[in-house]
Amino acid sequence: MITSEDIARANDNLKSIPVKGKNYVMVTERIKAFRQICPMGEIETEIISLEDGVVTMRTTISIDEKVVATGYAQEKETSSYINKTSFIENCETSAVGRALGFLGIGIDESMASADELVNAITQQEANKAKISKKEQAILKAMVEKRGLNLENVLNGARLEDVTGEAYQDAIKRLSKLPEVVNGKDNRQS
């Protein structure tokens, strides 16, 4: 069986990388440490759901057929450049990192893996950034198709100043509203 002393010794030898002023242990380092501590231990991953470009995965860590830790992760295919081709793999890596973190491996400063942190920071920055001309056109078209006033939808903000976060919020709200054709609600009856 694995002891807390085994984990502490393994953590002392883990390499970390600096990300936004904090040190993070890569998942590869966590896996190597686990294999050194418990070479016969099992790391099992499973897709819990895969719908509409969103995957949720679970990782189960077992030692001597006893579950000692689990970790979950979720990734969206369109959330980053890497996820466009590898969102399932990225999700699996995050779930493994979280499970090993719950076991106590590589969590000196944070549960999140470096990949998770970078993705979160990238998403936050994208949410604060102004939307593209294409996104402006999409938003404007959605507003017009619903017979609404753009200025009212944007609460007085200029279209050029809309951020990614405000854009996503507006798209969600507009998607719930019916399109209007010739002044009439165009919902299917």
- Let me know the angle formed at the C-alpha of 131 by 150 and 163, rounded to the nearest 5 degrees: 75
The predicted-structure confidence for 61-117, as pLDDT tens digits, reads as follows 999 999 999 999 999 998 888 888 899 999 999 999 999 999 999 876 555 555 555
User: Which pTM was predicted?
Assistant: 0.59
Beta carbons of 30 and 94 less than 8 angstroms apart: no
> What mean pLDDT is reported for the chain?
83
Which residues touch 153 (CB under 8 Å, ≥6 apart)? Answer: 143, 170, 173, 174
CA dist 103 and 67 (Å) reads: 10
Which residues touch 121 (CB under 8 Å, ≥6 apart)? Answer: 20
Which residues touch 187 (CB under 8 Å, ≥6 apart)? Answer: 178
CA dist 7 and 33 (Å) reads: 8
The predicted-structure confidence for 18-53, as pLDDT tens digits, reads as follows 776 777 888 999 999 999 999 999 999 999 999 999
